[in-house]
Amino acid sequence: AVYRRMEEVEEKVKSYLTITREHAEAKARQVDEKIAAGEPVGPLAGIPVAVKDNMCTEGIRTTCASKILYNFVPPYTATAVAKMDAAGMVMVGKTNLDEFAMGSSTENSGFHLTHNPWDLERVPGGSSGGSAAAVAAGETVVSLGSDTGGSIRQPAAFCGVVGMKPTYGGVSRYGLVAFASSLDQIGPFTKDVTDMAHMLNVICGHDPMDSTSANIRQPDFTQFLVNDIKGMKIGVPREYMADGIDPLVKERIKEAIQKLTELGAYVEETSMPHTDYAMPAYYLIATAEASSNLARYDGVRYGLRVEDARDVVDMFMRSRSQGFGDEVKRRVMLGTYSLSAGYYDAYYLKALKVRTLIKQDFDKAFEKYDVLLSPTSPSTAFKIGEMVDDPIQMYLQDICTIPVNMAGIPALSIPCGLANNLPVGLQLMGKAFAEGTLLRVAYTLE
Ligand code: GLN
């Protein structure tokens, strides 16, 4: 059914970079045979899933939407993808993204644009725009994305689906191509909160292959799907409802707050005083880590290598300048600069201190509140081309989502009505490893 749907809409939406139909049909047959033979199949057997193309898949091209990896076929599979495979799920394709997950609109893909299924002239958000659009357009049932500063939650909001960034360390990053290692997390896109609970059950858990993977017992997330939030305390940080937020988005969020109050939750305004510093600190930390992580693309071991290089340095330089797009180059330069001797203390180290202050804002808020609530994004989906020449404006897209990655906590975006016929996203943020609490609140809003 999803391939039939792809035949109808993929030409217009363009969610995918690679469609893995043969692989999927072989897997589906294998599941069928097991069922016929009475053998056990996994809990999500036969469910189609799409995977952001920055997660390694053995034998299947993995490009990160970068020309520098146009021909890269990984020899191993990311743990999150392997876990879905073990659960019986069928991977139907690899989805489009901003090159190396750097962006908020999927316009930085080195290959093609993805269109928002709600309005084809608009972006699907990013960087996991392909994964969000594929779920919204019915080209898969669920998908995986990655979120470094909002790349799951913002496209989920723009495309009217559910998206979760789990706690840092909750899902293994083994096989996720690194952008900013201290911020990156894999998470699912789904059509509703119930599917989200099932997906978390499959992908969360300890992995010895990732040294930052947390070794804690994960609950059965479906146990949180109860319609009861009586007595829960919810804080709404006023910095997340500031002037830059579209008034129609605010209206929808206020309606949701009203509903939560009627259901018996205590909702009140609070303050997170360091919120304004999250964005500048993020763009120092994320670019510093990216410049270091992307040093490995040199044309030597894999990926693009230019021909006729004069010598090895010429080969490095020309392969990188041909292979990387503008946004990636901008970030590598920024990051290299802020890590250089003489600037390290003034920029990078300072940003790490700011990160601690942001984390303390959250720690303090969670002494009082079970969850924090905000818009996911300041606006609804914007027009293709509207922001490409204005990186700062594009960076401001992530004002509500970035603090969460800085603190390493979980957050989820759920659909919250429409503004001018476009989906609005509502964000719920929780304590580390309190994904269940987020699901519980989100479930009552469906
Ligand atoms: N839009 C943000 C950035 O460009 C976040 C991207 C992400 O979460 N991968 O860095």
Q: Note the pLDDT tens digit of each residue in 246-282.
A: 999 999 999 999 999 999 999 999 999 999 999 999 9
pLDDT of residue 389: 86
Q: Is the pLDDT of residue 390 over 90?
A: no
Q: Note the pLDDT tens digit of each residue in 7-65.
A: 999 999 999 999 999 999 999 999 999 999 999 999 999 999 999 999 999 999 999 99
pLDDT of residue 388: 85
Q: Is the pLDDT of residue 412 over 90?
A: yes
Q: Note the pLDDT tens digit of each residue in 212-253.
A: 999 999 999 999 999 999 999 999 999 999 988 999 999 999
pLDDT of residue 250: 97
Distance from Cα 151 to the centre of ligand 1, integer Å: 5
Q: Is the pLDDT of residue 368 over 90?
A: yes
% residues pLDDT > 70 (the chain):
100
Counting ligand 1 atoms within 8 A of each CB, the residue from 53, 109, 123, 127 with the most, and so the one to mutate, is 127
| DSSP 3-state of 236 | strand
Instruction: Look up the CATH superfamily of 2-224.
Output: Amidase signature (AS) domain (3.90.1300.10)
Distance from Cα 249 to the centre of ligand 1, integer Å: 21
The reply to whether ligand 1 has any atom less than 6 angstroms from the CB of 152 is no
Q: If you average pLDDT over residues 69-93, what whole number do you get? A: 98
Closest to 178 measured CA to CA, from 52, 348, 54: 54
Q: Is the pLDDT of residue 102 over 90?
A: yes
CB 106 within 8 A of CB 114: yes
pLDDT of residue 243: 87
Q: Which residue in the list 66, 131, 143, 151 is annotated as catalytic? A: 151
Known catalytic membership, residue 374: no
Closest Cα to atom 4 of ligand 1:
103
Q: Note the pLDDT tens digit of each residue in 176-191.
A: 999 999 999 999 999 9
Q: If you average pLDDT over residues 55-76, what whole number do you get? A: 98
Decide which of 391 and 289 is more confident.
289
The band of 394, judged by pLDDT with boundaries at 50, 70 and 90, is: confident
DSSP strand E in 24-169: where? 48-52, 90-95, 142-147, 162-165
The strands making up 422-430's β-sheet, listed across from edge to edge, are 16-19, 90-95, 48-52, 142-147, 185-190, 162-165, 411-419, 422-430, 371-375, 233-237, 266-270
The band of 396, judged by pLDDT with boundaries at 50, 70 and 90, is: confident
Known catalytic membership, residue 127: yes
pLDDT of residue 393: 83
% residues pLDDT > 90 (the chain):
96
**Ligand 1 atom at minimum distance from 327 CA:** 4
pLDDT of residue 143: 99
The reply to whether ligand 1 has any atom less than 6 angstroms from the CB of 147 is yes
| CA max distance for the chain | 71
Q: Which residue in the list 15, 127, 146, 413 is annotated as catalytic? A: 127
Instruction: State the pairing for strand pair 90-95/266-270.
Output: unpaired
Q: Which residues pair with 162 in a beta bridge?
A: 190
pTM value is: 0.98
CB 119 within 8 A of CB 159: no
pLDDT of residue 392: 85
**Ligand 1 atom at minimum distance from 282 CA:** 10
The average confidence (pLDDT) of the chain is: 97
Counting ligand 1 atoms within 8 A of each CB, the residue from 99, 102, 147 with the most, and so the one to mutate, is 102
